[in-house]
Structure 1
Amino acid sequence: MPDNRQHAKGEARPQARSVQARRLRLLATTDLHMQLGGAASGLSRIASLIAEERATAAREGAICLLVDNGDALQGGALGELAAEEPARPHPVMRAFAHLGYDVLGLGNHDFDLGLERLEAVLAQAACPVVCSNLGPVRGVLPWLVLERAGLRIGVISALPPQTAVWNRHHLEGRAEARDIVAAAREAVQALRLEGCDLVLALAHSGPGAADALPGAENAALAVAALDGIDAVIAGHTHERHADPSVPLVLPGANGSDLGVIALEAGAEGRWHVATAALRPVSAAVAEDPALASLVAEDHARAEALMARPVGRVEAPLHSYFTFIAPDRALALVAAAQAAALRPLLAGWPEAGLPLLSAAAPGLFGGRSGPLAYADIPAGPVALRHLVELQPFPNDLHAVVVTGAQLGDWIEHSAGLFNRIVPGADPVALIDPGLPGHDFDVIHGVACEIDLSVPSRFLSDGSLRQGGARRARRLTYAGRAVMPDQRFVVAVNSYRSSGGGNVAALRGAERLDLPGTGLRAALAGYLGGAAHDPLEQAPPPWGFVPLPGARAWLQTGPGAQGHLGELAGRGVEAAGIDGEGFLRLILPL
Structure 2
Amino acid sequence: MITKPKVPVGQRKDDRAMIRILATSDIHMNVTGYDYYADCTDTRIGLTRTATLIREARQQAVQNDALVLMFDNGDSLQGTPYGQWAAQTIRHTHPLPQAFAALGYDAVGLGNHDFGFGVAFLEQIAEKATYPILCSNMRYKALKSPWHPYAILPRSVVLNGNNEPICIGVLSVLPPQTLQWEAHKLKGKAEVEDIVTSAHHTAANLKQLGCDLVVALAHTGLGADTFENGQENAAIPLAEIDAIDAIIAGHTHLTLPGPGHAGLKHVDHARGLVHDKPVVMPGWAGSHLGIIDLSLKRDQNKKWRVENSKAELRSIQSDVDGSTVAEDAEISAFFAAGHVETKAQSAEPVGRITKPLHSYFSYCGSDRSLSLLAEAQAAAVKPFLANTQFADIPVLSAVAPAKFGGRAGPRYYTDVPAGEISMRHVADIHVFPNELRAVLANGAQILDWLEMSAGLFSQLSKDGPHLLTNPHWTGHNFDILYGATWQIDLSKPARFNCDGSLVDAANSRILDASFNGTPITEDQIFVVVLNNYRANGGGDFPVAKNPRLISLPSLRIQDALRDYLAGNLQPTLLAETVKPFSFAPMGSRTAILKTGPNARNYIDELAEYRPIDLGLDDEGFMQVQLTL
TM range (shorter): over 0.9
The answer for the alignment partner of 1:426 in structure 2 is: 465
Q: How does 1:432-443 map to 2 (within 5 A)?
A: 432-443=471-482
- SS of alignment partner, residue 575 of structure 2: helix
Aligned: 1:292 with 2:332: yes
Q: Which residue of 2 aligns with 1:587?
A: 627
1:21 deviation in Å?
A: 7.7
Q: 1:462 aligns with which of 497, 501, 510?
A: 501
Number of the residue aligned with 1:536: 576
**Counterparts of 1:327 and 1:558 in 2: how far apart (Å)?**
15
Structure 2 counterpart of 1:176: 191
The answer to which of 184-193 and 453-462 deviates more is: 453-462
- 1:303 alignment counterpart: 343
- Contact 1:446/1:538 (CA < 8 Å) preserved in 2? no
Shift of 1:267: 4.8
AA matched with 1:279: R
CA distance in 2, matches of 1:539, 1:561: 19
Counterpart in the other structure of 1:132: 136
RMSD between aligned residues: 1.7
State whether residues 48 and 328 of structure 2, in contact with CA within 8 Å, keep that contact through their aligned partners in structure 1. Answer: yes
Matched, 1:562 2:596: no
Provide structure 2 residue ranges, at least 5 long, that are not aligned to the other structure: 7-13, 34-41, 157-164, 258-271, 318-322
* Contact kept in structure 1, 2:500 and 2:541, CA below 8 Å: yes
**Does 2:201 align with 1:214?**
no
Could you tell me how far apart the structure 1 residues matched to 2:222 and 2:577 are? 42
What displacement does 1:361 show? 0.4
In the alignment, which of 114, 119, 124 is matched to residue 123 of structure 2?
A: 119
Cα drift, residue 304 of structure 1: 0.8
The answer for the alignment partner of 2:39 in structure 1 is none
CA distance in 2, matches of 1:257, 1:229: 23
**How has the CA–CA distance of structure 1 residues 419 and 466 changed in structure 2, closer, same or farther, with 3 Å as cutoff?**
farther
- Identify the range of structure 1 (207-216 vs 314-323) with the bigger mean alpha-carbon deviation: 207-216
CA contact 1:447–1:473 (8 Å) conserved in 2: yes
Contact 2:172–2:218 (Cα < 8 Å) also in 1: yes
Q: Pick from 532, 539, 549: which aligns with 2:589? A: 549
Residue aligned with 1:474, SS: strand
Superposition misfits of 4+ residues, deviation over 4 angstroms: none
Equivalents in 2 of 1:86, 1:346: separation in Å? 36
Q: 2:553 aligns with which of 514, 524, 529?
A: 514
Give matches, 1:136-151, under 5 Å. Answer: 136=140, 138-149=145-156, 150-151=165-166
Q: Contact 2:359 / 2:403 at 8 angstroms: preserved in 1?
A: yes
Query: For residue 214 of structure 1, what is the amino acid of its counterpart?
Result: N
**Residue segments in structure 1 that go unaligned for 5+ positions in a row:** 12-18
Gap change, CA 1:78 and 1:209, over 3 Å in 2: same
Asked if 1:160 corresponds to 2:160, the answer is no
Matched, 1:253 2:284: yes
Q: Partners of 1:341 and 1:504 in 2: how far apart?
A: 19
Give distance in 1, aligned partners of 2:155 and 2:373: 52
**Equivalent in the alignment of 1:28:** 23
SS at match of 2:599: helix
**C-alpha distance in 2, partners of 1:85/1:29?**
25
TM-superposed deviation, 1:538: 6.7
Q: Which amino acid aligns with 1:37?
A: T
Identical positions, percent: 43
Q: Which amino acid aligns with 1:219?
A: A
Partners of 1:225 and 1:64 in 2: CA distance: 25
- CA shift, 1:448, in A, is 0.5
- The 8 Å contact of residues 451 and 470 in structure 1, kept in 2 or not, is answered as yes
Q: Which amino acid aligns with 1:30?
A: S
Q: Match for 1:372 among 403, 409, 412?
A: 412
Change (3 A) 1:404 1:553: same
- Counterpart CA distance in 1 for 2:212 and 2:556 is 48
Superposed CA offset, 1:361-419 (max 9, x none) = 00000000000000000011111111111111000110000000000011111111111
Alpha carbons 2:413, 2:596 under 8 Å: kept: yes
Contact 1:164 1:177 in 2 (8 A): yes
Deviation at 1:9, TM superposition (A): 6.1
Instruction: Look up the match of 2:46.
Output: 42
- Which range moved further: 441-450 or 261-270? 261-270
Is the Cα–Cα contact under 8 Å of residues 247 and 273 in structure 1 kept in the other structure?
A: no
Bigger drift between 272-281 and 105-114 goes to 272-281
Matching of residues 245-394 of structure 1 within 5 Å = 245-268=276-299, 269-282=304-317, 283-394=323-434
Aligned partners of 1:239 and 1:251 also within 8 Å:
yes
Task: Give me the whole-angstrom Cα distance separating, in 2, the residues matched to 1:509 and 1:540.
Answer: 25
Distance 1:274 1:327, change over 3 A: same
Q: Distance in 1 between matches of 2:573 and 2:426?
A: 21
Cα contact 1:359–1:442 (8 A) shared by 2: yes
Q: CA shift at 1:273, angstroms?
A: 4.1
C-alpha distance in 2 between matches for 1:257 and 1:402: 46
1:104 aligns with 2:111: no
> TM (normalized to structure 1)?
0.95
Cα deviation for residue 270 of structure 1 reads: 1.3
The equivalent residue for 1:93 is 97
The question of whether the paired residues in 2 share the 8 Å contact of 1:21 and 1:63 is answered with no
* Number of matched pairs: 575
8 Å CA contact 1:453, 1:467 repeated in 2: no
Q: Secondary structure at the match of 2:497?
A: coil
